[in-house]
Structure 1
Amino acid sequence: TSATGCTGTLQTLADGEHDPNANIFGVVDAEYTDKGANGQPALTAHDQHVTQPGHRQAEHHTAASGVQVVSHAAAHGGKTVGYIENGDWIAFRPYALENTDRFTARISSAGTGGTIEVRAGSPTGTLLGTVAAPVTGGWETFQDVTTTLTNRPAGSTTLYLVFKGGSGSLFDVDEFSFTTTGGGARPGPVKGVNAKCLDVDNAGTADGTKIQIWTCNGSAAQTWTVPGDGTLKALGKCLDVSGGGTADGTKVQLWTCNGTGAQKWTPQSDGTVRNPQSAKCLDASGGVWNDGTPVHLWTCHTGANQKWTMP
């Protein structure tokens, strides 16, 4: 997309050709030419800025030391950064981290496990956070690990993920994401397909209450809080995958908050909201999305019924 003139709006377009695991990011390229004056020719200035998504596949690194890209059927996008040993690292440039507060990585390990250090500027640069990468029981068995971030630098930097541990292969890294600071818990509607809102059926508070879409009305049944711990809360309870299921069509419901993976949700840069435990997305069911359409779990795709605007 493009615009001309001294001011303008760049309207981003929906992309139906790539899934969330593709190496896609934004580039803003600007050029200005003045009119010249007093016998001087016109001058042209040019600048370019890369906008990184909050969610990245680890194998899409800008630079690396010691690691290899490995194929794994259970990995998102089919690949991981593997053969990780103590002191290895991967880097991404540029990244703006000032307004981020949490880092989450999807890892697997049939080795010895270890830690991931999140650093800025160099492999020995400012330490922003450290997260343990435990043994998961197999190279195809993945889990999410999360840490809070401190000392985030202002402006643009190079992001380094530095791997530490004992001898031999430590763990694999599939993907990672950052949570952006929002000034604490943010209450408001979660808007979806047909401009309808995520809604708790009849404002019920019993465990197992149906979650649906409904015409937006500003009620408490449509007021969700994003507290920054990976949950979505309404009426004092959490958005929950029934039974911790992973199958397409699994019911999404309201349930007492319990800290399990069934209640973790990660907004993605493509507008979907993913449950990392199942690697599936929050989905308005069916093909006609009227008031009362239930919400369930479904394989992630690019359809409008999986696009959500968070508060």
Structure 2
Amino acid sequence: MGHSVTVWDQRSEFEVTKDWNGIDQVVLRVPRGASARVSLFGGQVISWRNERGEEQLFTSSKAIFKPPKAMRGGIQICFPQFGNCGSLEQHGFARNRMWSIDNDPPPLHQHNDNDKVFVDLLLKPSEDDMKCWPHHFEFRLRVSLTMTGDLTLTSRIRNINGKPFGFSFAYHSYFSVSDISEVRIEGLETLDYLDNLCERERFTEQGDAITFENEVDRVYLSSPNVVAVLDHEKKRTFVIRKEGLPDVVVWNPWEKKSKSMVDLGDEEYKQMLCVDAASIERSINLKPGEEWKGQMEICSVPSTYCSDNLGGI
């Protein structure tokens, strides 16, 4: 992986390496063997492995690991928009910019930081960013890994402008699954959703759980703070907990769209599912000096833990 250096502070240990393009990556490890890898390009989590070394995030075999576009997979930071509208690039510019390691972040007021390994990243707008989105902001991202291997992303966006601004946001998360036909999502039953395949028409979810037989591209609205992705074949469940993010995006491109995407294998839709903690329907609005915080925690547990009671995990 090239040159590496171990960085210490009072709270955490992480390793900084360079990828084959010379871009810094941060590797977080805990004693039991779980790990996470974060690229400073996009502040993107590109790997999350459990204590057995099994990769839990999907990355396409055709992914392009090179700027100026985000790599297909992992967890992408979508800010200041989700989707494609106006003069901004699709899903905003945060996932296509170089971040820096933030060595002096304000306190997060979190407890038990000694039980985590984490890194703090910082993004500020460039002159080019200001031309297409003229707002001064500071975006602080903490990526942390608990001793049991749970992954948490905490975003704080502060308006240091002289005027208010609004934005949408998503943690665009690619989960690795055994077979999309064997996967279901629990926790989104009876909710309204916007269907991006029907010009964002609003529908109400009718199923007991969400299963997959064709392309899905939906934004579930006002969702509960705990959602589960159950993988029947692997007998594994991803539990997603979120704060400050009322919506959930569910996306799988299925066969036809996969064949039109240069950075996704024709059959790879079977091994991936995007379930994003997001705020899309209503803009997040910040007055000068105000700060927003949004958090997503994901853990992987045996499916028998949570098929009956999501709240009891």
- TM exceeds 0.5? no
Q: Which has the higher contact order (CA 8 A, sep 6+)?
A: 2
TM-score, normalising length: structure 2: 0.27
In our comparison, the structure showing a higher alpha carbon Rg is: 1
